[in-house]
């Protein structure tokens, strides 16, 4: 072989996974070892993270809500390297990575108090040391024992926070057993007080909650052991004493907790953490070579229940929010929550215990503008070739099934006079992706523009030509980096040839999502929102999550700036997918604004419903004004979100898998170590795919890959 010849890599799909893989393979240190061509359906990079700018207002239109978490070490490293290499000039609207991402320390969940009452819980997570993507030095933060220690510290902190609220035991007026129980608890608390003489007041009160718990635990244990403890005794009589005793004490504790919602919420978190600690120890996760994977056969909520969490905790906003965050509902049905327990714990541990800087980071423009435009510019500068309007249809195997021999691609449109497509447009000086193709660069562009042709539509069948890319001619290595929903159709030959692929497509599932965005002429504080700008989950369907995106106002280009921008998103039931999906999302959004948004913005709603005159840039009256806003039904195969269902994660194909010897995969649907649909998983998979083709980055350099 001619060693000087670059190795040609065809990457199919320009989402986070494909782009980060291209970034790794073309690092300057590799001295041109790889010649990368990235094939992308439609006019823009981004996949599920793509965004576009409206031509008239410069407003940002996203596929959904994208927040970066403070533990996205690999993704932030990618971005930091990208911005550093881009070296934008002074005065650029987003010159550096830390101008593009801003810490967000508030997170919220909404909880249901009754049939129709909801309350907001906004929590502040203090900034932590360092920044995501900083070098990790000194110690490996990822171990089960380390996490258990974190859990214990968290328990300690939470208990102290409860005590800080100055709770005293309720004064229960009753007689008989209730009085006895009351005295019992009071005496225990007295003991706790004596026991901690000389310690701070906080420590005294810390004892209250803990002692109450121990009584319950002891009595519950006793109830199961009664017969064995005192053989021959009239167990029924003793039981009749213990039951009311236990009930009374539970009521006592419940009173203490329920009298203050904040205490109850903290108690729910304590309960979750206790269940995790118990479960991790009982199930042998600590010494298992499979780490938290050991628990992936269980559903997260069922697993917590089995290790002692209370049903109220399972139903709490804190736990429901974790399902909302990952769209963890089979078939998009909110009555079918399902989330692998091991990955849920791994994600929670990473999210809460290893974040740096802030729990969340908010992008200061669209995800396309912040992530994919800079990546495109750097890759283009490095010589990566982009083939926009190229949709992968099928991968073909060699006769001996050992490698990928062909890739069949539909060319959706051609650029005029054979020029390269120039995909970006400036908005207030920031390179951005437009919300629709730049028709004027395309052959037959005028006609396409009149039709507002959208090559991302699932039913788009425009085909200028069919290309068959061939191994050794067009590529040496192929990388499948499309969204999982398209994988089964593209990979039929691979699935037929390899049982592991068959098992993957038999088990891995996706779900459609929906989102809408509104721009308002009043700010949400004036509409009654009483917390800081927030991202809040756990609310009523069909839109359980709201993010206040006011930071984007200055990056858009309205004739008159709106005063608020709000994003809402949720899962979309499979029953609503299909031809009517778009209308279903629109109708759902209108109903939500009329009926449910008053919980967040009470002054945006009157007895007649939502005040439609609040919508910016709208025409007409009433609900018709909503037509001017943005909504999306993400139902096409590549847009669907991959689920982390129990019993399925070990069926995912790893980018490192070498069953087909010139081929690898990338995407948040792969066995990439962090098996959840998110930017970090996608970037990790891109790094793994690059490593599979080139040997670098070394696996130990992919942060969090070797993680329990």
Give 422 or 473: the residue with its C-beta nearer to other proteins: 473
Determine if 306 is a binding residue for other proteins (CB under 8 A): no
Sign of CA dihedral 458, 479, 692, 71: negative
Q: Pick one of 160, 286, 305, 497: the residue that binds other proteins (CB under 8 A).
A: 286
Contact 364, 553 (CB under 8 A): no
Question: Cβ 298 to other proteins, closest distance in Å?
Answer: 16
Going by C-beta distance under 8 Å and a sequence separation of 6 or more, which residues neighbour residue 497?
Answer: 397, 401
Question: Cβ 643 to other proteins, closest distance in Å?
Answer: 20
Span between the terminal Cα atoms of the chain, in Å: 41
Tell me the DSSP string of 489-507: HHTHHHHHH-HHHHHHHHH
Question: Cβ 207 to other proteins, closest distance in Å?
Answer: 7
User: Is residue 697 reached through a cis peptide bond, with omega within 30 degrees of 0 on the bond before it?
Assistant: yes
Question: Between vectors from CA 107 to CA 105 and to CA 113, what angle results, nearest 5°?
Answer: 150
Question: Between vectors from CA 603 to CA 599 and to CA 606, what angle results, nearest 5°?
Answer: 90
Determine if 455 is a binding residue for other proteins (CB under 8 A): no
Question: Cβ 608 to other proteins, closest distance in Å?
Answer: 56
Determine if 1 is a binding residue for other proteins (CB under 8 A): yes
DSSP summary character for residue 567: E
Contact 593, 519 (CB under 8 A): no
Give 450 or 698: the residue with its C-beta nearer to other proteins: 698
Give 442 or 689: the residue with its C-beta nearer to other proteins: 689
The full length of the chain comes to 708
Give 90 or 237: the residue with its C-beta nearer to other proteins: 237
Give 256 or 572: the residue with its C-beta nearer to other proteins: 256
CA distance linking residue 431 with residue 89, whole number of Å: 13
Give 595 or 701: the residue with its C-beta nearer to other proteins: 701
Question: Cβ 37 to other proteins, closest distance in Å?
Answer: 11
Give 96 or 196: the residue with its C-beta nearer to other proteins: 196
Locus of tokens 């965050």:
325
Give 39 or 323: the residue with its C-beta nearer to other proteins: 39
Q: Pick one of 48, 59, 66, 77: the residue that binds other proteins (CB under 8 A).
A: 77
Size of the residue set binding other proteins (CB under 8 A):
98
DSSP summary character for residue 664: E
Stretch that binds other proteins, among 506-514, 539-547, 597-605, 660-668 (CB under 8 A): 660-668
Question: Cβ 237 to other proteins, closest distance in Å?
Answer: 6
Q: Please state at what angle helix 201-229 crosses helix 144-164, rounded to 10 degrees.
A: 110
Question: Cβ 328 to other proteins, closest distance in Å?
Answer: 22
Determine if 700 is a binding residue for other proteins (CB under 8 A): yes
Question: Cβ 97 to other proteins, closest distance in Å?
Answer: 15
Residues 177-236 contacting other proteins, CB under 8 A: 180, 183-184, 187-188, 190-192, 194-196, 207, 210-211, 214-215, 217-219, 221-222, 225, 229-230, 233
The helix, strand and coil proportions of the chain, stated in percent and rounded to the nearest 5, come to 45, 20, 40
Determine if 673 is a binding residue for other proteins (CB under 8 A): yes
Residues 146-165 contacting other proteins, CB under 8 A: 146, 148-149, 152-153, 156
Locus of tokens 């010159």:
95
Question: Cβ 130 to other proteins, closest distance in Å?
Answer: 11
Residues 29-48 contacting other proteins, CB under 8 A: none
Give 281 or 624: the residue with its C-beta nearer to other proteins: 281
Question: Cβ 208 to other proteins, closest distance in Å?
Answer: 11
Question: Cβ 692 to other proteins, closest distance in Å?
Answer: 6
Determine if 396 is a binding residue for other proteins (CB under 8 A): no
User: Nearest 10 degrees: CA dihedral of 478, 481, 482, 486?
Assistant: 60
Going by C-beta distance under 8 Å and a sequence separation of 6 or more, which residues neighbour residue 586?
Answer: 516, 626, 631
Give 508 or 511: the residue with its C-beta nearer to other proteins: 508
Stretch that binds other proteins, among 1-9, 262-270, 321-329, 565-573 (CB under 8 A): 1-9
**461 CB burial (10 A radius; 0-12, 13-18, 19+):** exposed
Nearest CA to 490 out of 502, 480, 499 is that of 480
Contact 641, 628 (CB under 8 A): no
Residues 462-521 contacting other proteins, CB under 8 A: 471-474, 476-477
Question: Cβ 172 to other proteins, closest distance in Å?
Answer: 16
Contact 135, 73 (CB under 8 A): no
Neighbours of 334 (CB within 10 A): 18
Determine if 420 is a binding residue for other proteins (CB under 8 A): no
Question: Cβ 229 to other proteins, closest distance in Å?
Answer: 6
Locus of tokens 């921008």:
565
Determine if 239 is a binding residue for other proteins (CB under 8 A): no
Q: Pick one of 31, 116, 117, 139: the residue that binds other proteins (CB under 8 A).
A: 139
Question: Cβ 310 to other proteins, closest distance in Å?
Answer: 17
CA distance linking residue 603 with residue 527, whole number of Å: 5
Determine if 658 is a binding residue for other proteins (CB under 8 A): yes
Contact 49, 82 (CB under 8 A): no
Determine if 7 is a binding residue for other proteins (CB under 8 A): yes
Determine if 430 is a binding residue for other proteins (CB under 8 A): no
Bridge partners (DSSP) of residue 34 are: 7
Give 241 or 336: the residue with its C-beta nearer to other proteins: 241
User: Nearest 10 degrees: CA dihedral of 598, 600, 602, 603?
Assistant: -110
């Amino acid at each position: 072989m001619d060693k000087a010849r670059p190795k040609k890599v065809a990457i199919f799909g320009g989402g986070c996974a494909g782009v980060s893989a291209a970034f790794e393979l073309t690092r300057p240190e590799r001295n041109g070892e790889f010649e990368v061509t990235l094939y992308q359906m439609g006019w823009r990079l981004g996949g599920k993270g793509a965004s576009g700018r409206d031509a008239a207002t410069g407003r940002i239109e996203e596929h959904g809500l994208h927040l970066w978490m403070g533990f996205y070490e690999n993704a932030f490293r990618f971005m930091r390297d990208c911005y550093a290499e881009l070296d934008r000039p002074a005065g650029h609207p987003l010159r550096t990575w830390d101008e593009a991402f801003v810490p967000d320390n508030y997170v919220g969940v909404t909880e249901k108090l009754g049939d129709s009452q909801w309350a907001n819980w906004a929590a502040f997570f203090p900034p932590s040391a360092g920044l995501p993507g900083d070098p990790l030095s000194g110690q490996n933060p990822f171990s089960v024992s380390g996490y258990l220690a974190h859990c214990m510290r968290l328990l300690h902190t939470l208990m102290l926070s409860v005590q800080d609220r100055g709770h005293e035991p309720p004064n229960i007026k009753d007689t008989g057993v209730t009085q006895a129980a009351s005295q019992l608890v009071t005496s225990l608390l007295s003991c706790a007080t004596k026991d901690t003489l000389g310690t701070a007041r906080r420590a005294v009160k810390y004892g209250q909650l803990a002692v109450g718990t121990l009584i319950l635990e002891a009595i519950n244990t006793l109830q199961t052991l009664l017969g064995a403890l005192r053989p021959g005794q009239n167990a029924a009589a003793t039981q009749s004493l213990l039951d009311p005793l236990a009930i009374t004490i539970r009521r006592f504790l419940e009173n203490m907790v329920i009298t203050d919602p904040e205490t109850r919420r903290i108690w729910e978190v304590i309960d979750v953490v206790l269940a995790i600690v118990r479960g991790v120890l009982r199930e042998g996760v600590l010494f298992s070579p499979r780490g938290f994977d050991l628990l992936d056969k269980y559903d997260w909520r069922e697993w917590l229940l089995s290790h002692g969490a209370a049903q109220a905790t399972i139903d709490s906003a804190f736990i429901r929010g974790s399902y909302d965050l990952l769209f963890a509902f089979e078939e998009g049905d909110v009555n079918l929550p399902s989330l692998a327990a091991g990955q849920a714990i791994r994600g929670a541990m990473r999210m809460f215990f290893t974040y740096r800087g802030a729990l969340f980071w908010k992008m200061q423009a669209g995800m396309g503008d912040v992530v994919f435009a800079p990546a495109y510019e750097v890759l283009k500068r490095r010589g990566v070739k982009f083939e926009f309007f190229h949709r992968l249809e099928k991968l073909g195997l060699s006769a001996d099934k050992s490698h990928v021999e062909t890739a069949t691609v539909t060319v959706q449109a051609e650029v005029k006079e054979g020029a390269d497509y120039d995909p970006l447009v400036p908005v207030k000086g920031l390179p951005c992706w437009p919300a629709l193709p730049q028709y004027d660069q395309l052959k037959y562009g005028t006609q396409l523009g009149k039709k507002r042709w959208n090559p991302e539509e699932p039913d788009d069948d425009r085909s200028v030509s069919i290309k068959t890319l061939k191994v050794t001619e067009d590529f040496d290595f192929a990388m499948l980096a499309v969204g999982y929903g398209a994988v089964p159709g593209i990979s039929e030959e691979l699935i037929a040839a390899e049982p592991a692929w068959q098992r993957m497509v038999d088990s891995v599932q996706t779900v459609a999502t929906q989102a809408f965005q509104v721009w308002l002429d009043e700010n949400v504080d004036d509409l009654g929102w009483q917390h800081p700008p927030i991202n809040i989950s756990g609310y009523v369907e069909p839109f359980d999550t709201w993010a206040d995106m006011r930071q984007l106002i200055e990056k858009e280009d309205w004739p008159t700036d709106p005063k608020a921008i709000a994003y809402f998103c949720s899962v979309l039931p499979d029953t609503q997918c299909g031809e009517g999906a778009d209308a279903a999302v629109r109708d759902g959004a209108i109903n939500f604004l009329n009926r449910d948004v008053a919980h967040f913005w009470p002054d945006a709603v009157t007895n007649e419903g939502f005040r439609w005159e609040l919508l910016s840039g709208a025409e007409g009256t009433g609900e018709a004004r909503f037509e001017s806003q943005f909504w999306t039904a993400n139902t096409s195969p590549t847009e669907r979100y991959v689920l982390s269902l129990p019993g399925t994660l070990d069926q995912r194909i790893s980018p490192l898998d070498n069953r087909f010897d010139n081929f690898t995969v990338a995407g948040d649907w792969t066995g990439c170590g962090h098996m959840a649909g998110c930017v970090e998983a996608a970037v990790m998979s891109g790094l793994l795919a690059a490593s599979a083709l080139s040997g670098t980055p070394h696996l130990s350099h992919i942060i969090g890959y070797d993680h329990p």
